[in-house]
Amino acid sequence: MKKRTIATILTGVLLTAVLTGCGGATSGEDAQGASEKDLLATIQENGTLTVGTEGTYAPYTYHDDSGKLVGYDVEIAEAVAEKLGVEAKFVETKWDSIIAGLDAKRFDVIVNQVGINEERQKKYDFSTPYTYPTGALITLKSNEDIKSFEDLAGKKSAQSLTSNWAASAESYGAELVGTDGFNQSIDLVLAGRADATINDNLTFYDFIKQKPDADVKIAALSDETSENAILIRKGNDTLVTAIDEALAELAKEGKIKEISEKYFGVDVSVAP
Protein backbone atom coordinates (compact mmCIF):
# COMPACT_ATOMS: atom_id res chain seq x y z
CA MET A 1 0.00 0.00 0.00
CA LYS A 2 2.81 2.36 0.98
CA LYS A 3 4.77 1.55 -2.20
CA ARG A 4 1.68 2.09 -4.34
CA THR A 5 1.00 5.47 -2.69
CA ILE A 6 4.58 6.65 -3.24
CA ALA A 7 4.49 5.52 -6.87
CA THR A 8 1.23 7.37 -7.41
CA ILE A 9 2.64 10.56 -5.92
CA LEU A 10 5.82 10.34 -8.00
CA THR A 11 3.79 9.80 -11.16
CA GLY A 12 1.71 12.86 -10.38
CA VAL A 13 4.80 14.97 -9.67
CA LEU A 14 6.48 13.90 -12.92
CA LEU A 15 3.34 14.56 -14.95
CA THR A 16 3.01 18.03 -13.43
CA ALA A 17 6.68 18.77 -14.15
CA VAL A 18 6.35 17.68 -17.76
CA LEU A 19 3.23 19.74 -18.33
CA THR A 20 4.77 22.76 -16.62
CA GLY A 21 7.93 22.37 -18.65
CA CYS A 22 6.05 22.18 -21.92
CA GLY A 23 4.23 25.41 -21.27
CA GLY A 24 7.06 27.06 -19.32
CA ALA A 25 9.61 27.23 -22.14
CA THR A 26 7.32 29.28 -24.33
CA SER A 27 6.32 31.53 -21.45
CA GLY A 28 9.97 32.07 -20.49
CA GLU A 29 10.96 32.90 -24.06
CA ASP A 30 8.02 35.25 -24.42
CA ALA A 31 8.85 36.93 -21.12
CA GLN A 32 12.49 37.37 -22.07
CA GLY A 33 11.58 38.70 -25.51
CA ALA A 34 9.02 41.08 -24.05
CA SER A 35 11.51 42.26 -21.44
CA GLU A 36 14.12 43.14 -24.07
CA LYS A 37 11.53 44.49 -26.50
CA ASP A 38 10.07 46.79 -23.85
CA LEU A 39 13.32 47.86 -22.19
CA LEU A 40 12.53 51.54 -22.79
CA ALA A 41 9.12 51.10 -21.13
CA THR A 42 10.77 49.30 -18.21
CA ILE A 43 13.34 52.07 -17.82
CA GLN A 44 10.64 54.73 -17.82
CA GLU A 45 8.46 52.74 -15.44
CA ASN A 46 11.37 52.32 -13.00
CA GLY A 47 12.48 55.91 -13.48
CA THR A 48 16.13 54.87 -13.92
CA LEU A 49 18.54 54.44 -16.83
CA THR A 50 21.32 52.18 -15.55
CA VAL A 51 24.62 53.15 -17.18
CA GLY A 52 27.86 51.18 -17.30
CA THR A 53 30.97 53.37 -17.13
CA GLU A 54 34.59 53.12 -15.95
CA GLY A 55 34.87 55.99 -13.50
CA THR A 56 38.65 56.08 -14.02
CA TYR A 57 38.92 57.59 -17.51
CA ALA A 58 39.34 61.36 -17.29
CA PRO A 59 38.00 63.61 -18.64
CA TYR A 60 35.18 61.33 -19.73
CA THR A 61 34.25 59.47 -16.56
CA TYR A 62 36.19 59.99 -13.31
CA HIS A 63 35.97 61.18 -9.72
CA ASP A 64 36.71 64.79 -8.79
CA ASP A 65 38.50 65.89 -5.61
CA SER A 66 35.31 65.48 -3.60
CA GLY A 67 34.86 61.91 -4.85
CA LYS A 68 31.88 62.72 -7.06
CA LEU A 69 31.59 60.88 -10.38
CA VAL A 70 31.93 63.51 -13.10
CA GLY A 71 33.07 63.86 -16.71
CA TYR A 72 31.95 64.43 -20.28
CA ASP A 73 30.36 60.99 -20.63
CA VAL A 74 28.72 61.24 -17.21
CA GLU A 75 27.03 64.51 -18.14
CA ILE A 76 26.02 63.19 -21.57
CA ALA A 77 24.39 60.16 -19.90
CA GLU A 78 22.61 62.37 -17.37
CA ALA A 79 21.32 64.68 -20.11
CA VAL A 80 20.05 61.73 -22.19
CA ALA A 81 18.37 60.21 -19.13
CA GLU A 82 16.65 63.52 -18.43
CA LYS A 83 15.30 63.57 -22.00
CA LEU A 84 13.90 60.07 -21.39
CA GLY A 85 12.19 61.35 -18.25
CA VAL A 86 14.34 59.31 -15.86
CA GLU A 87 17.51 59.58 -13.77
CA ALA A 88 20.89 58.06 -14.65
CA LYS A 89 22.28 55.46 -12.27
CA PHE A 90 25.94 54.61 -12.84
CA VAL A 91 27.57 51.21 -12.36
CA GLU A 92 31.36 51.59 -12.41
CA THR A 93 33.12 48.72 -14.14
CA LYS A 94 36.62 48.09 -15.53
CA TRP A 95 36.80 48.48 -19.28
CA ASP A 96 37.78 44.89 -20.06
CA SER A 97 34.64 43.55 -18.34
CA ILE A 98 32.23 46.36 -19.15
CA ILE A 99 30.77 44.82 -22.33
CA ALA A 100 30.34 41.49 -20.53
CA GLY A 101 28.40 43.47 -17.92
CA LEU A 102 26.06 44.74 -20.64
CA ASP A 103 25.58 41.15 -21.87
CA ALA A 104 24.73 40.09 -18.31
CA LYS A 105 22.18 42.94 -18.09
CA ARG A 106 23.95 44.60 -15.19
CA PHE A 107 23.13 47.87 -16.93
CA ASP A 108 20.96 49.10 -19.79
CA VAL A 109 23.62 50.92 -21.81
CA ILE A 110 27.33 51.75 -21.78
CA VAL A 111 28.40 55.40 -21.95
CA ASN A 112 32.19 55.20 -21.93
CA GLN A 113 33.62 56.34 -25.28
CA VAL A 114 32.83 53.05 -26.98
CA GLY A 115 34.23 53.13 -30.49
CA ILE A 116 32.03 51.93 -33.33
CA ASN A 117 33.50 49.01 -35.27
CA GLU A 118 32.17 46.22 -37.48
CA GLU A 119 32.75 43.45 -34.95
CA ARG A 120 30.72 45.21 -32.26
CA GLN A 121 27.99 46.17 -34.71
CA LYS A 122 27.33 42.47 -35.37
CA LYS A 123 26.24 41.95 -31.76
CA TYR A 124 25.23 45.39 -30.45
CA ASP A 125 23.46 48.55 -31.49
CA PHE A 126 24.99 52.01 -31.26
CA SER A 127 23.46 55.42 -30.84
CA THR A 128 24.46 58.20 -33.20
CA PRO A 129 28.07 59.22 -32.40
CA TYR A 130 28.59 61.98 -29.85
CA THR A 131 32.42 62.16 -29.85
CA TYR A 132 34.99 62.21 -32.68
CA PRO A 133 38.50 61.78 -31.25
CA THR A 134 41.76 61.16 -33.12
CA GLY A 135 44.23 58.44 -32.19
CA ALA A 136 47.44 59.60 -30.51
CA LEU A 137 50.64 57.56 -30.29
CA ILE A 138 52.21 58.37 -26.92
CA THR A 139 55.83 57.70 -25.88
CA LEU A 140 58.46 59.02 -23.49
CA LYS A 141 59.76 62.44 -24.48
CA SER A 142 63.23 60.92 -24.85
CA ASN A 143 62.06 58.15 -27.20
CA GLU A 144 63.51 58.72 -30.68
CA ASP A 145 62.84 55.21 -32.00
CA ILE A 146 59.07 55.66 -32.37
CA LYS A 147 58.06 58.55 -34.61
CA SER A 148 55.14 56.98 -36.47
CA PHE A 149 52.57 54.25 -35.96
CA GLU A 150 54.58 52.00 -38.27
CA ASP A 151 57.48 52.19 -35.80
CA LEU A 152 55.38 50.19 -33.31
CA ALA A 153 56.35 46.96 -35.08
CA GLY A 154 58.05 44.71 -32.52
CA LYS A 155 57.55 47.27 -29.70
CA LYS A 156 55.43 46.91 -26.57
CA SER A 157 52.22 48.95 -26.45
CA ALA A 158 50.26 49.26 -23.19
CA GLN A 159 46.53 48.94 -23.95
CA SER A 160 43.13 47.89 -22.61
CA LEU A 161 42.98 44.63 -24.50
CA THR A 162 39.38 44.90 -25.70
CA SER A 163 39.62 48.49 -26.92
CA ASN A 164 39.79 49.77 -30.49
CA TRP A 165 43.18 51.26 -29.64
CA ALA A 166 44.53 47.80 -28.80
CA ALA A 167 43.39 46.52 -32.20
CA SER A 168 45.08 49.51 -33.82
CA ALA A 169 48.38 48.89 -32.00
CA GLU A 170 48.27 45.22 -32.91
CA SER A 171 47.62 46.05 -36.57
CA TYR A 172 50.95 47.90 -36.62
CA GLY A 173 52.76 44.85 -35.23
CA ALA A 174 53.01 45.90 -31.59
CA GLU A 175 53.15 43.42 -28.73
CA LEU A 176 50.26 44.24 -26.40
CA VAL A 177 50.74 44.76 -22.67
CA GLY A 178 47.32 44.56 -21.02
CA THR A 179 46.16 47.33 -18.68
CA ASP A 180 43.00 48.47 -16.90
CA GLY A 181 42.93 51.80 -18.72
CA PHE A 182 44.70 54.97 -19.83
CA ASN A 183 46.28 55.88 -16.49
CA GLN A 184 47.87 52.47 -16.05
CA SER A 185 49.03 52.50 -19.67
CA ILE A 186 50.81 55.83 -19.09
CA ASP A 187 52.33 54.49 -15.87
CA LEU A 188 53.80 51.52 -17.75
CA VAL A 189 55.30 53.81 -20.40
CA LEU A 190 56.79 56.06 -17.71
CA ALA A 191 58.19 53.00 -15.90
CA GLY A 192 59.78 51.68 -19.11
CA ARG A 193 57.65 48.53 -19.07
CA ALA A 194 56.02 49.54 -22.35
CA ASP A 195 57.40 51.54 -25.27
CA ALA A 196 54.18 53.34 -26.12
CA THR A 197 50.43 53.50 -25.83
CA ILE A 198 47.69 54.57 -28.24
CA ASN A 199 44.68 56.46 -26.97
CA ASP A 200 42.60 59.40 -28.08
CA ASN A 201 44.22 62.83 -28.32
CA LEU A 202 41.60 64.43 -26.05
CA THR A 203 42.44 62.13 -23.14
CA PHE A 204 46.14 62.91 -23.55
CA TYR A 205 45.57 66.68 -23.65
CA ASP A 206 43.53 66.47 -20.45
CA PHE A 207 46.24 64.36 -18.81
CA ILE A 208 48.93 66.92 -19.71
CA LYS A 209 46.71 69.73 -18.44
CA GLN A 210 46.57 67.96 -15.08
CA LYS A 211 50.25 66.88 -15.12
CA PRO A 212 52.20 69.33 -17.31
CA ASP A 213 55.57 67.94 -16.18
CA ALA A 214 54.80 64.34 -17.20
CA ASP A 215 57.67 62.90 -19.26
CA VAL A 216 55.49 61.81 -22.21
CA LYS A 217 54.67 63.22 -25.62
CA ILE A 218 52.54 62.60 -28.69
CA ALA A 219 54.86 60.99 -31.21
CA ALA A 220 52.23 60.86 -33.96
CA LEU A 221 48.56 61.52 -34.62
CA SER A 222 46.35 59.23 -36.68
CA ASP A 223 44.84 60.41 -39.95
CA GLU A 224 41.62 58.64 -38.99
CA THR A 225 38.93 59.90 -36.62
CA SER A 226 37.10 57.50 -34.33
CA GLU A 227 33.32 57.59 -33.88
CA ASN A 228 32.26 56.92 -30.30
CA ALA A 229 28.69 56.27 -29.23
CA ILE A 230 26.36 54.77 -26.61
CA LEU A 231 26.35 50.95 -26.71
CA ILE A 232 23.02 49.09 -26.41
CA ARG A 233 22.08 45.41 -26.56
CA LYS A 234 20.43 44.39 -29.84
CA GLY A 235 16.67 43.90 -29.79
CA ASN A 236 15.93 47.24 -28.12
CA ASP A 237 15.02 49.34 -31.13
CA THR A 238 12.65 51.63 -29.24
CA LEU A 239 15.43 52.49 -26.77
CA VAL A 240 17.92 53.14 -29.57
CA THR A 241 15.44 55.45 -31.29
CA ALA A 242 14.66 57.28 -28.05
CA ILE A 243 18.36 57.80 -27.28
CA ASP A 244 19.06 59.03 -30.82
CA GLU A 245 16.17 61.48 -30.54
CA ALA A 246 17.46 62.65 -27.17
CA LEU A 247 20.97 63.22 -28.57
CA ALA A 248 19.54 65.09 -31.57
CA GLU A 249 17.53 67.37 -29.28
CA LEU A 250 20.54 67.97 -27.02
CA ALA A 251 22.68 68.84 -30.05
CA LYS A 252 20.03 71.20 -31.42
CA GLU A 253 19.72 72.93 -28.03
CA GLY A 254 23.51 73.34 -27.83
CA LYS A 255 23.72 71.21 -24.68
CA ILE A 256 26.26 68.70 -26.02
CA LYS A 257 28.44 71.55 -27.28
CA GLU A 258 28.21 73.18 -23.85
CA ILE A 259 29.27 69.98 -22.07
CA SER A 260 32.07 69.43 -24.59
CA GLU A 261 33.50 72.92 -24.23
CA LYS A 262 33.37 72.58 -20.45
CA TYR A 263 35.75 69.61 -20.54
CA PHE A 264 37.78 70.18 -23.73
CA GLY A 265 37.50 73.84 -24.65
CA VAL A 266 36.23 72.79 -28.10
CA ASP A 267 33.21 70.96 -29.51
CA VAL A 268 34.25 67.33 -29.95
CA SER A 269 30.71 66.17 -30.74
CA VAL A 270 30.93 67.06 -34.44
CA ALA A 271 33.07 65.33 -37.04
CA PRO A 272 36.16 67.34 -38.08
| One domain, residues 58 and 191 | no
| One domain, residues 106 and 69 | yes
Q: Which domain holds residue 209?
A: 134-225
The tens digit of pLDDT for each residue in 136-186 reads: 999 999 999 999 999 999 999 999 998 889 999 999 999 999 999 899 999
| One domain, residues 127 and 155 | no
Distance CA 91, CA 211 (A): 28
Distance CA 205, CA 33 (A): 44
Distance CA 248, CA 189 (A): 39
Name the DSSP letter for residue 59.
T
For residue 44, the domain's CATH number is 3.40.190.10
- Cis check for the bond before 212: say yes or no (omega within 30 of 0): no
Paired with 50 in beta bridges are 89
| One domain, residues 47 and 128 | yes
The tens digit of pLDDT for each residue in 208-244 reads: 888 999 999 999 999 888 999 999 999 999 999 999 9
| One domain, residues 50 and 180 | no
Other Cβ atoms less than 10 A from the Cβ of 187: the count is 14
| One domain, residues 101 and 206 | no
pTM of the model: 0.75
CA triplet 252, 254, 260: central angle to 5 degrees? 130
Answer yes or no: is 180 within a domain: yes
